[in-house]
Amino acid sequence: MGNKAEINPEKELNTEKELITGLGTTSGNMKKTEALLKVEDLSLSFTQYESGLRQTELKVISNLSIQAYKGEILAIVGSSGSGKSLLAHSILGILPSNAKLDGRIEYNGAELTQERKEEMRGKEIALIPQAITYLDPLMKISNQVIGCVEKKNEGLMKKLQREIFQRYTLKPEVERMFPHELSGGMTRRVLVSTAVISSSKLIIADEPTPGLDEKTLNETLSYFKDMADKGCAVILITHDIEAALKISHKIAVFYAGTVLEVANVEDFKNNGENLRHPYTRALWNALPQNKFQAIKGHQPMQDEVIDGCIFYERCSRKKALCAQGLPQLKQVNGGMVRCNNAS
Partner 1 sequence: MHLKGENVSFGYKRNNLILKDVNISLGSGEVLGLIGDSGSGKSTLCKILAGYENKYQGKVTLDEKEIPPKGYNPVQLVFQHPEKAVNPKWRMNDILNEGHFVSQDILEAFGIKNNWLNRWPNELSGGELQRFALARALSPKTRFLIADEITTMVDSITQAQIWNIVLDIVEELNIGVLVVSHDRNLINRLCNDTVYLKDINNT
Partner 2 sequence: MSTAVVTVNRGLFRGLNLRQKTLLIIGSTSLLLLGIVVSSVFLGGEPLQTNFGSKNLAPSLEHPFGTDWMGRDMFVRTLEGLGLSILVGGLASTISTVLTVILGLLSSAGKTADSFVSWLVDLFLSIPHLLLIILISIGLGGGATGVIIAVALTHWPSLTRVVRAEIKQLKTQEYIHISRNLGKSKWWIASKHILPHLVPQILLGTILMFPHAILHEASVTFLGFGLSPHEPAIGIILSESMRYLSAGYWWLAFFPGLSLLIVVLAFDMIGENLGKLMNPKNAHE
Q: What is the DSSP letter of 38?
A: E
Site membership for partner 2, residue 93 (CB under 8 A): yes
Considering only 48, 143, 169, 271, the residue that binds partner 2 (CB under 8 A) is 48
Does 96 help bind partner 2 (rule: CB under 8 A)?
A: yes
Cβ proximity to partner 1: between 107 and 255 the closer is 255
Q: Which among partner 1, partner 2, none contacts residue 94 (Cβ within 5 to 8 A by kind)?
A: partner 2
Does residue 7 interact with partner 1 by CB under 8 A? no
* Interior angle at CA 169, CA 164 and CA 174, nearest 5: 80
First to last CA, the chain: 48
Site for partner 1 contains 324 (CB under 8 A):
no
From the list partner 2, partner 1, none, pick the one residue 80 interacts with, judged by a Cβ distance below 5 to 8 Å according to partner type.
Answer: partner 1
- Closest approach, Cβ 57 to partner 1, in A, equals 16
Residue among 105, 118, 129, 115 at smallest CA distance from 35: 105
Site for partner 1 in 115-174 (CB under 8 A): none
Collect all residues with Cβ–Cβ distance below 8 Å to 339 and sequence separation of at least 6: 260, 261, 276, 277, 278, 309, 311, 327
What element of type H or E holds 324? none
Give the C-alpha separation, 174 to 143, whole Å: 11
Full DSSP string of 83-146: SHHHHHHHHHT---TTEEEEEEEEETTEE--HHHHHHHBTTTEEEE-S-GGGS-TTS-HHHHHH
Asked if 51 is part of the footprint of partner 2 (rule: CB under 8 A), the reply reads: no
Task: Collapse the DSSP code of 74 into the 3-class scheme (helix H, G, I; strand E, B; otherwise coil) and give the result.
Answer: strand
Least distance to partner 1, CB of residue 75, Å: 13
Number of C-beta neighbours around residue 245 at 10 A: 18
The partner in contact with residue 301, picked from partner 2, partner 1, none with C-beta cut-offs of 5 to 8 angstroms by kind, is partner 1
CB of 92 to partner 2, least distance (A): 8
Number of residues binding to partner 1, judged by CB under 8 A:
33
Q: Is 317 in the site for partner 1 (CB under 8 A)?
A: no
Least Å distance, CB 53 to partner 2, is 5
The count of residues interacting with partner 2 (CB under 8 A) is 16
- The verdict on 214 binding partner 1 (CB under 8 A) reads yes
Residues 6+ positions from 29 with CB-CB distance below 8 Å: none
Residues of this chain that bind partner 1 (CB under 8 A): 77-81, 184, 210-217, 239, 241-242, 282-284, 286-289, 292-299, 301
In the complex, which residues of this chain contact partner 2 (CB under 8 A)?
Answer: 46-49, 53, 55, 93-99, 114, 118, 121
